[in-house]
Structure 1
Amino acid sequence: MPTSPVIRRARLGAELRQLRRREALTLEQVCDRLGWASTSKLSRIELGQSRPDLADVLDLLDIYQVPPPTRDALIVIARDAATSRGWWKALGEMGERQRTYAELEAGAASIVEYQPAVVPGLLQTPAYARARVAAAAVLAPEVDVDAEVRARALRQEVLRRVDPPRYTALLAEAACDPGDVSAAMWREQLRHLVTLSGLANVTLRLLPRGAAGAPHPLTPYSCYAFPDPADPRTVMLEALTTDVRLATTVDVDRYQRLTEALLAAALSPEETVTALARRAGE
């Protein structure tokens, strides 16, 4: 299964930071030993904000005197964090925001996504995706609509790959209304949702308006878990101009509880598909 570079970078950075502190070394002391001009390079590696150079990681492991078993494991993680294999090259034209989601999706074992107002990107038809991207581009005229639509289609391939992630979409009822798209486009989108629900790894759950005791969060979010249990579970919150990534146990557990409450209030997968098919017929 592919790994998620963004998660591997976060894990590698946390491991290297822990090793540095174990040796009681400051950022300045490490950078002085390596001849690095400033601490910003090491700081970005430890924060998982840059793709690491394997040679730099090897130098750090030497300074921290990491023994072979741990060293070998960290080298594997570093290679994953800096990967340029296969699918990574296909992300070249993606904007930064879509690239982050693509990296998370590529290595995930399971994805749970909540959408209060629109169909999630992984489930959109090309026409619906273009309408949504074009609407968002009104506030961001620098966005290349064609490139963003192609990038979304590329991300969708993760659901049909060999050994795909388990994907669950929690859709508030407003996300299953046509909004500002044409009746024909919306009918096509609903039929697409019904078709995707036939995939063994895809589950759709509709959250009815006014469901008793159900929370109705206004912010879309996605939860990711990974095959390696040491890779941090992650939650992404979708905002207007940027997205927020949460990975602390406290934050992730809180969203896990929210997801459980939403699932308890949602229609069953079978009831959801029936409702979507009925709407498509109407």
Structure 2
Amino acid sequence: MDIDRSSGCAELTSIRGTTNIGQVPTVLRRMLGSRLQQLRKGRGLTQEDVAKGTWATASTISRIESGTVGLDSRSVVELLRFYGVTDTDEHDKYLSLVQLGNRPGWWHRDSDSLPKGFELLNLESAARTIRCYEPAVVPELLQTAEYARAALRLRYPDRPDAEIDRLLTVRLRRQEILDRADPPYVWMVVEESALRRPIGGATVWRDQLHRLQQVIRPENIVMQIVGDAACGPAVIGSAFLYLRFHERRLPDVVCVSQPTSTLYLESREDIERYLQIGDMLAAEAARPSETAARLESLMAGSEDRTELA
């Protein structure tokens, strides 16, 4: 994939045109394998150690963790018990992935046993490229803790504080990928109207704008702002997140968030369409070199509103 970072537009010349999506391991397998790998490492075990104590060989454990083979429910439970996970509710979170594992496109409802954000925490950690379009709020990977809490409270007005805290913890953990030694390339297209919304109040909003001024400096984080005249929400009515992975056998994924669920798309036709939309919005947006000045203008406006308040 070749990206012209000076203009912010991407020439995604191929969407793995020779790949049959039905023949590659599903992203759900990658998510499950990644989580099992975390459990193994948390116990200080090598793949050889697991092989000695279970039915699997070391090479099988390696393939499980990379998502290149599937697992049945019985095998997952055995591995979980070997790693010291005995709680049946915890088992259900992993088994949900097994049950969905053969579907090329799937819904995850917020009420399912998997916690909200569990999927993205695993998917984003494996991504080498992340593209995002956001019409309503600051993209989640760039939110401050206070802004994120306010946004979560707006989205889930009936959830108890403890649940909001848990969702916030997951969201902030997702942001850790931006600080790692090999961060993904992140390209975000955001509506200017989203940046003008004082979510959380004027002070939280101003701090959030300041945070954006800081994080867009690294070479791997690019943000473009779409002006009102570009009519981005008329082109596509909801936010979406596109992920491309280090593991090339895994399909690209588009995540579309809805009020009560998230849709994950893996088919080549869906991926190509969303990338076309992303390129079109980026072409209509201000150039990345203009983002700093636009944020400075928004900061000035936020200070004025704080004084009026």
Same fold (TM over 0.5): yes
The CA deviation at 1:80 is: 2.7
Deviation per residue, 1:166-211 (Å, 9 max, x gap): 0011101221112443111111100100100011210010011112
3-state SS of paired residue (2:290): helix
1:1-282 matched pairs, under 5 angstroms? 15=23, 48=29, 51=32, 76-81=62-67, 96-141=115-160, 144-211=163-230, 216-282=235-301
**Contact conserved, 1:173 with 1:206, CA < 8 A, in 2?**
yes
Measure the CA separation in 1 of the matches of 2:263 and 2:162.
20
Supply the distance in 1 between the matched residues of 2:161 and 2:147 (Cα, whole angstroms).
20
Question: 1:49 Cα deviation (Å)?
Answer: 10
Report the Cα offset of residue 14 of structure 1.
5.3
C-alpha contact 1:234 1:245 (8 A) present in aligned 2: yes
Aligned partner of residue 97 in structure 1, secondary structure: coil
- Which amino acid counterpart does residue 153 of structure 1 have in structure 2? L
Alpha-carbon distance change, 156 to 212 in structure 1, aligned in 2, over 3 angstroms? closer
* 1:217 CA displacement: 1.6
Distance of aligned partners of 1:240 and 1:260 in 2 relative to their CA distance in 1, 3 Å threshold: same
Separation in 2, partners of 1:46, 1:97? 17
User: Which runs of no fewer than 5 residues in structure 1 stay unpaired?
Assistant: 1-10, 18-44, 61-71, 85-91
Q: Aligned equivalents of 2:252 and 2:134: distance in 1?
A: 19
Asked whether the equivalents of residues 186 and 221 of structure 2 are also in contact (C-alpha less than 8 Å), the reply is yes
Deviations 1:208-243 (A, max 9, x none): 111279953221100000123221000000001110
SS at match of 1:122: helix
Deviation, 1:76, is: 3.3
Report if aligned partners of 1:170, 1:204 keep a CA contact under 8 Å in 2: yes
Please give the alpha-carbon distance, in whole angstroms, between the structure 1 residues aligned to 2:240 and 2:203: 28
Alpha-carbon deviation of 1:16? 8.9
| 1:118 match: secondary structure | coil
Letter in structure 2 aligned against 1:233: D
Contact 1:112 1:224 in 2 (8 A): yes
Q: How many residues are treated as equivalent by the alignment?
A: 225
| Distance in 2 between residues matched to 1:224 and 1:161, nearest whole Å | 17
The percentage of aligned residue pairs carrying the same residue is 26
- Worse-matched range after superposition: 142-151 or 231-240: 142-151
TM-score, normalised to structure 2, is 0.63
Q: Tell whether the 8 Å contact from 2:240 to 2:256 is kept in structure 1 after alignment.
A: yes
Once the two structures are TM-superposed, the CA of residue 107 in structure 1 deviates from its matched residue by 0.3
Residue 64 of structure 1 is matched in structure 2 by none
Letter in 1 for 2:201: S
**Is this contact kept in 1: 2:141–2:174, CA < 8 A?**
yes
One-letter amino acid of the structure 1 residue matched with residue 154 of structure 2? A
Cα distance change on mapping 1:137 and 1:47 into 2, 3 Å? closer
Counterpart Cα distance in 2 of 1:272 and 1:47: 35
Query: Is the CA contact 1:215–1:261 (under 8 Å) kept in the aligned structure 2?
Result: no
* Alpha-carbon spacing, 1:78–1:213, altered in 2? closer, same or farther (3 Å): closer
- Which stretch has the larger CA shift, 138-147 or 272-281? 138-147
| 2:207 aligned counterpart, secondary structure | helix
Q: Using the TM superposition, give the Cα deviation of residue 120 of structure 1 relative to its aligned residue in structure 2, in angstroms.
A: 1.1
Measured in 1, the distance between the counterparts of 2:232 and 2:22 equals 39
SS at match of 1:114: strand
RMSD: 3.8
Q: What secondary structure sits across from 1:109 in the alignment?
A: strand
Say if 1:143 and 1:169 are closer, same or farther in 2 by CA, change over 3 A.
farther
- SS of 1:144 mapped into structure 2: helix
Aligned AA (2:62): V
